[in-house]
């Protein structure tokens, strides 16, 4: 007698063990294989011990066709994913099976469920990872070896900004990018794949996808599978790795679905009672060591634009830098649509980024904050009713806000404007010039969607000469 299916309820499969199998009870996280006649075996991950001879598992695939009494194979092995040089340039599912029509991946495997680094092995995130995007490098610098979050509702540009960061990383930094698509739409996944091919960066990127149509168990483990691949390049190859996760909130939702199917009672606003532990299991594995840096950029969907949502707040606790995307900025065409006043970073201290960067950032933030205070007055009475000092602050704030926009490389095919990469030094010089009022006489449009300030000034001069 062997292990058999005792019950099937959606993605939850109960397993009945034989007397011999019960003597060596599979541990939590081990995989049980369900053979299928015309398809690959279905993998079941052990999540509960119901009785000495009974287990509860979550299916990592569709359970249709699985019947009570079907025989099962105990592997006594954890869930694993292939790693190594063979995964670079490939599009894989969370089990390492190819989604790009290519051959199976050959190479070593690693367990998906692994402990995080100990406190002594971790290295603090004190260095800046320069992205080439002015508003991010100035006001919310990403920490090398830390976690950064992109917070925003639907349609404000989270995925586009993440693709731009991936593009800039491959073009301007040595290293590997790993992309985890959790709950990705098939259309978005294909567009991302084609974009990587066209931009010539696919050979340095690993795409791990758990698409929207997959079962909750697959979506729940996709992020950990991608982190396992990233840890290989960090620990075994000693490379810096940039990990992109789109979208962490869908990881939380998948965990909620798994929790509900297992019959756990809901907690705050319907979230699973294990929310904090599940988010920590994912986030605490993203860190730097002496062998390399693992830096993450995570898109976080904000339901109903409510950043106090418990799922969003739990993710927020693990971040070193956070970028809040603004629907108002997107409506005004200010891209990247980063809210400069609600975004920040743990690096913005003079001891970490330098006195000049910290000072310019604080002055820019203060100028933009002053403009926000005066917007209602301007709407009611007009800018001419302001004092000369306030009017000067508004003029410079509007120019600063437009200077912090720039065209993106990944949107060039839609806008016809080539993307630009701006160094931090050029960003600081441009902001300092605007803050001192050196270019107050120029129209606001001259500062919109450009790169270095010098290039914008030259373009404005050429436009003025042609108009004359």
Annotated binding site for ATP: 152-159
Known catalytic membership, residue 184: yes
How far apart CA 297 and CA 321 sit, in angstroms, is 9
Q: Is 99 helix (H, G, I), strand (E, B) or coil?
A: coil
How far apart CA 265 and CA 263 sit, in angstroms, is 6
Q: Which one of the listed residues 45, 164, 184, 231 is annotated catalytic?
A: 184
For 110, 126, 315, 391, the CA distances from 309, given in Å and listed in that order, are 34, 29, 10, 38
Known catalytic membership, residue 134: no
Burial of 343: CB neighbours in 10 Å, binned 0-12, 13-18, 19+: buried
Binding positions are 152-159
Q: Looking at residue 335, what DSSP letter applies?
A: S
| Tokens found for residue 237 | 């190859």
Q: Which residue, 281, 227, 284, 287, is CA-closest to 28?
A: 281
| Tokens found for residue 408 | 């993106």
Q: Is 356 helix (H, G, I), strand (E, B) or coil?
A: helix
In this structure, is the dihedral angle defined by the CA atoms of residues 158, 163, 164 and 168, taken in order, positive or negative?
positive
Q: Which residue, 230, 209, 221, 204, is CA-closest to 294?
A: 230
DSSP secondary structure of 158-174: HHHHHHHHHHHHHHHS-
Q: How many Cβ atoms sit within 10 Å of the Cβ of residue 32?
A: 25
> Rounded to the nearest 5°, which phi and psi values hold at 255?
-65, -35
Contact status, residue 216 vs residue 183, Cβ threshold 8 Å: no
| Tokens found for residue 418 | 């080539």
Q: Which residue, 201, 208, 139, 127, is CA-closest to 164?
A: 201
The separation between the first and the last C-alpha atoms of the chain, rounded to the nearest angstrom, is 92
| Tokens found for residue 463 | 């436009």
With vertex at residue 63, the alpha carbon angle to CA 251 and CA 192, rounded to the nearest 5 degrees, is 40
Helices assigned H by DSSP within 30-71? none
Q: Which one of the listed residues 56, 144, 158, 396 is annotated catalytic?
A: 158
Burial of 305: CB neighbours in 10 Å, binned 0-12, 13-18, 19+: middle
- Pairing state between β 109-111 and 205-211: unpaired
Task: Tell me which residues are annotated as active site.
Answer: 158, 184-185
């Amino acid at each position: 007698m062997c292990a058999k299916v005792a019950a099937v309820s959606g993605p939850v499969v109960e397993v009945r063990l034989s007397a011999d199998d019960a003597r060596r009870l599979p541990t939590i996280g081990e995989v049980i294989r369900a053979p299928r006649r015309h398809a690959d075996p279905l993998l079941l991950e052990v999540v509960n011990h119901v009785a000495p001879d009974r287990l509860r598992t979550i299916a990592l695939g569709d359970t249709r066709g699985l019947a009570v009494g079907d025989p099962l194979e105990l592997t006594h092995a954890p869930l694993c994913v292939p790693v190594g040089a063979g995964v670079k340039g490939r599009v894989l599912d969370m089990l390492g099976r190819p989604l790009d029509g290519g051959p199976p991946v050959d190479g070593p495997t690693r367990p998906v469920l692994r402990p995080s680094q100990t406190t002594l092995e971790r290295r603090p995130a004190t260095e800046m990872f320069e992205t080439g995007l002015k508003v991010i490098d100035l006001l919310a610098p990403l920490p090398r070896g830390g976690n950064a979050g992109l917070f925003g509702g639907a349609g404000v540009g989270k995925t586009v900004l993440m693709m731009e960061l991936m593009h800039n990383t491959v073009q301007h930094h040595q290293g590997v990018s790993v992309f985890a698509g959790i709950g990705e739409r098939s259309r978005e996944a294909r567009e991302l794949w084609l974009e990587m091919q066209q931009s010539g960066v696919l050979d340095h990127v690993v795409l791990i996808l758990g698409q929207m149509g997959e079962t909750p168990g697959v979506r729940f483990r996709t992020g950990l599978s991608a982190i396992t691949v990233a840890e290989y390049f960090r620990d075994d190859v000693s490379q810096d790795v940039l990990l992109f996760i789109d979208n962490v909130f869908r990881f939380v939702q998948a965990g909620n679905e798994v929790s509900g199917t297992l019959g756990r009672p809901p907690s705050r606003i319907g979230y699973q009672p294990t929310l904090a532990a599940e988010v920590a299991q994912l986030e605490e594995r993203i860190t730097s060591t002496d062998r390399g840096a693992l830096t993450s950029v995570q898109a976080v969907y904000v339901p109903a634009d409510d950043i106090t949502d418990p799922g969003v707040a739990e993710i927020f606790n693990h971040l070193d830098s956070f970028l809040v995307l603004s629907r108002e900025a997107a409506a005004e065409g200010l891209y990247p649509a980063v809210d400069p006043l609600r975004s920040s970073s743990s690096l913005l201290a003079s001891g970490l980024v330098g006195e000049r960067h910290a000072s310019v950032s604080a002055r820019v933030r203060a100028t933009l904050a002053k403009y926000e205070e005066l917007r209602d007055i301007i709407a009611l009475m007009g800018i001419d009713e302001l004092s000369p000092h306030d009017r000067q602050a508004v003029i410079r704030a509007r120019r600063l806000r437009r200077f912090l926009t720039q065209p993106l490389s990944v949107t060039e095919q839609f806008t016809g404007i080539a993307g630009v990469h701006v160094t931090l030094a050029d960003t600081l010089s441009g902001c300092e010039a605007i803050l001192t009022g050196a270019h107050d006489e120029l129209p606001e449009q001259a500062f919109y969607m450009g790169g270095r300030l010098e290039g914008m000034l030259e373009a404005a001069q050429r436009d003025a000469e042609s108009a004359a």
